Amino acid sequence: MEQGQTYLATENVGKLMGKYAIPCIISLLVGALYNIVDQIYIANADYLGSFGNAANTVVFPLTVIALAVAVMIGDGCCAFVSLSLGKGDGKRAGNSIGLSVLMAVISGILLCAVYLAFATPIIAMFGGTVNGETFALSKEYFFFISLGIPFYMFGQAMNPVIRADGSPKFAMASTLLGALVNIVLDPLFIFRFRWGMTGAALATVAGQIVTALLAVWYLFRLKSVRLSKGEFRWDKGVAGRTLSLGICSFLSQISLVAAMAAINNMIRKYGARDAVFGQEIYAQIPMAVVGIVMKVFQIVISVVIGMAAGCIPIVGYNMGAGKRERVRRLFTVLLACEAAVGAAALLTVEFLPRQLIAVFGSAGESVYYTEFAVRAFRIYLCMIVFACLNKATFIFLQAMGKAVASTTLSMIRELVFGVGFALLLPVFFGLDGVLFSMPVSDILTAIVSAVLIAVTYRQLSGHASPKAAA
């Protein structure tokens, strides 16, 4: 495998990025479809509507917690394996994969147990008590989603490992097949059998099981190593380095959960003070709408993360091989592509908000639903270009092995700015303050990102010491 991956250090960086990033983008987009497809079908079911949408919004951050742990393991392993193979150390690469399998299985089972044991207080913590109907549907959906958490986490953790092994197309195909199962079963369970939130959750879990089983199948056919009992031996150094390389991915996701919890609770609090949304019949609308806006943002950010994450094996290998100029060129290409994606997304949300909200069943809702949705899209995502560049910077620094810089930047964005402004701005601007928290956070983070990008460019050009951007 060490010889087989030498093309990472010689092939055109643009071509390499396309080879690795496109399957990764498709994998993440397909993964995002699980929750998005659920929400689309739920919204268009006349017996669920905005109440079901709000319930989906409540549960969504709880699946992100599972994803946070999974990507910490998987992305960390991906970076560790790529760096190790670039140095010609296949033994430690194999040990990282073996330990990642164990950590994914154990953490999935533990989180499932916690969710089932503390479902009611957890749902309340994420704003599920906005009204009685939303709370009931949230509990129903959350119970079955929790049962699928071990499968979901295993599949998500192994996906970047499979990419690092040189099989990005298989990683994409396994995720795609799982999502197709969900897409096929959702309308059957929700509309034909009328199983409601239970049906949506069961369709999702079925797809996650398929992806997990395909990951297990692949682990017996790894190209870089052959897993044996020795690879599953606990090695504190390997485990620690693997998790440290993935900690940025974890904190990026988990801090996003903190921001979503703050947003959901501010929506519940200040929505109750609004002349319209303070009425019981409309109380779920702001939460449902913001959830939809987040799903659209998730589609965009899946492309952004896919491009950056697809570069991880390339960056890791070239950093390990000492080819810093190639890493610099790749960074330039990546930032340009991310800016283009952000610009396209900005034009869409600013000029086509009504069309976007229509996909999520606005036809059967009140005029207040559509009016708030249009405002939410135009305000919440008005700085999406900066959001795209920020996310790319987080991941690229992580791929270079700069866990401290990457983690610090991610924490500043999601916890300091994301949670801070979500709690502060509504005090002065009510519900609109919740919407303004996103663009304000992205602008301020972009300033910090610009400094780190400049330092990283200098380092990769040889004008600064390797420690300068760490």
Q: Find all residues with CB under 8 Å of 436, minimum gap 6, and list them.
A: 379, 421, 425, 429
Please, what's the b/e burial string for 81-92 (b: 16 or more CB within 10 A of its CB; e: otherwise)?
A: bbbbbbbeebeb
pLDDT, mean of residues 417-445: 94
Q: Which residue has the higher pLDDT, 25 or 267?
A: 267
State pLDDT tens for residues 448-459: 999 999 998 998
pLDDT, mean of residues 441-465: 86
**Domain assignment present for 317:** yes
Tell me the two tokens of residue 120: 């009611």
Instruction: Tell me the residue length of the chain.
Output: 470
DSSP 282-345: GTTHHHHHHHHHHHHHHHHHHHHHHHHHHTHHHHHHHHHTT-HHHHHHHHHHHHHHHHHHHHHH
- What is the predicted pLDDT for the residue at 5? 62
Question: Which residue's entry shows tokens 């090695």?
Answer: 235
Q: Find all residues with CB under 8 Å of 370, minimum gap 6, and list them.
A: 354, 357, 362
Q: Which residue has the higher pLDDT, 9 or 332?
A: 332
CA end-to-end span of the chain, whole Å?
Answer: 29
pLDDT, mean of residues 370-377: 94
**Domain assignment present for 407:** yes
**Domain assignment present for 240:** yes
State pLDDT tens for residues 57-103: 899 889 989 999 999 999 899 888 888 877 877 788 888 899 999 99
**Domain assignment present for 14:** no
pLDDT, mean of residues 287-302: 89
Please state, rounded to an integer, the average pLDDT across all residues of the chain: 88
In this prediction, residue 234 has a pLDDT band, given cuts at 50, 70 and 90, of confident
**Domain assignment present for 333:** yes
Residue 80 contacts residue 225 (beta carbons within 8 Å): no
Q: Is the pLDDT of residue 10 over 80?
A: no
Q: State the amino acid at position 109 in one-letter form.
A: I
CA 457 to each of CA 124, 257, 330, 397, 463: distance values in angstroms, whole numbers, following the listed order: 45, 31, 11, 11, 9
Q: Is 174 exposed, middle or buried (0-12, 13-18, 19+ CB in 10 A)?
A: buried
Q: Which residue has the higher pLDDT, 186 or 224?
A: 186
Q: Is the pLDDT of residue 293 over 90?
A: yes
| Parent domain of 104 | 23-460
Q: Which residue has the higher pLDDT, 3 or 177?
A: 177
pLDDT, mean of residues 262-291: 91
Instruction: Name the nearest CA neighbour of 186 among 16, 24, 25, 45.
Output: 45
Count the domains in the chain: 1
Q: How far apart are CA 420 and CA 320, in angstroms?
A: 38
CA 350 to each of CA 59, 73, 303, 344: distance values in angstroms, whole numbers, following the listed order: 27, 37, 19, 10
Q: What is the chain's percent helix, strand, coil content, to nearest 5?
A: 85, 0, 15
Q: Is the pLDDT of residue 443 over 80?
A: yes
Tell me the two tokens of residue 455: 């330092």
**Domain assignment present for 77:** yes
Phi, psi of 148 (to 5 degrees): -90, 0
Q: How far apart are CA 119 and CA 77, in angstroms?
A: 31
Q: Which residue has the higher pLDDT, 447 or 234?
A: 447
State pLDDT tens for residues 187-219: 999 999 999 999 999 999 999 999 999 999 999
Tell me the two tokens of residue 303: 């492309």
**Domain assignment present for 8:** no
In this prediction, residue 2 has a pLDDT band, given cuts at 50, 70 and 90, of very low
State pLDDT tens for residues 156-178: 999 989 988 888 889 889 988 99
- What is the predicted pLDDT for the residue at 462? 63
Q: How far apart are CA 173 and CA 265, in angstroms?
A: 37
Half-sphere exposure of residue 216: CA atoms within 13 angstroms, side-chain side: 12
Question: Which residue's entry shows tokens 């699928």?
Answer: 148
Q: Is the pLDDT of residue 417 over 90?
A: yes
- What is the predicted pLDDT for the residue at 362? 67
pLDDT, mean of residues 375-381: 96
In this prediction, residue 397 has a pLDDT band, given cuts at 50, 70 and 90, of confident
- Percentage above 90 pLDDT, the chain: 50
Tell me the two tokens of residue 70: 């999974």
In this prediction, residue 464 has a pLDDT band, given cuts at 50, 70 and 90, of very low
- What is the predicted pLDDT for the residue at 203? 95
Check residue 34 and report its DSSP letter: H
Question: Which residue's entry shows tokens 């906005």?
Answer: 130
**Domain assignment present for 354:** yes
pTM recorded for the entire structure: 0.77
